[in-house]
Amino acid sequence: MIAYLRDETGADAVEELLNDEEDCLAHAVNLCEVYYDFIRSEDEPTANEAIEDLKSSGVIPRGDIDEEFWQEVGRYKDNIRRVSLADCFAIALANRVEGELATSNHGEFDPIAAQNIWRIRFIG
């Protein structure tokens, strides 16, 4: 999402996903990461605008946090420790909706993709 908003490598792939007929979901924790990135590098109004841009582009926020969900997140973090907790939320959401996780983070996700555990699409 940050790549898309900042027009970085992978922005075109994210735009294609957003223009697809399928829903593009983002967990609230991952949206928080986007918000933090913009508030840290710019300011709060810009961070708010970034989130609104995502939503108006078709990103659907999800706040799943029921017990089954957060326990799954915890298991992922325990089993794949090199992945951030926020990325574990993205994995759990993709798993819950039987969707595909889009990322540009090869460092954390290449080893996971090699195991064919989750459907991962690299955008850059």
Q: Which residues form the domain of 54?
A: 2-122
Q: What is the pLDDT of residue 26?
A: 97
pLDDT value at 106 more than 90: no
CA distance from start to end of the chain: 12
Q: What is the pLDDT of residue 21?
A: 62
Contacts of 76 (CB under 8 A, 6+ apart): 83, 88, 91, 92
96 against 124, higher pLDDT? 96
DSSP 3-state of 6: coil
Average pLDDT over every residue of 44-60: 97
Lowest mean pLDDT among 3-7, 19-23, 73-77: 19-23
User: How many domains would you assign to the chain?
Assistant: 1
Q: Output the domain CATH number for residue 11.
A: 3.40.50.1010
Exposure of 17 in the CB half-sphere (CA atoms within 13 A): 23
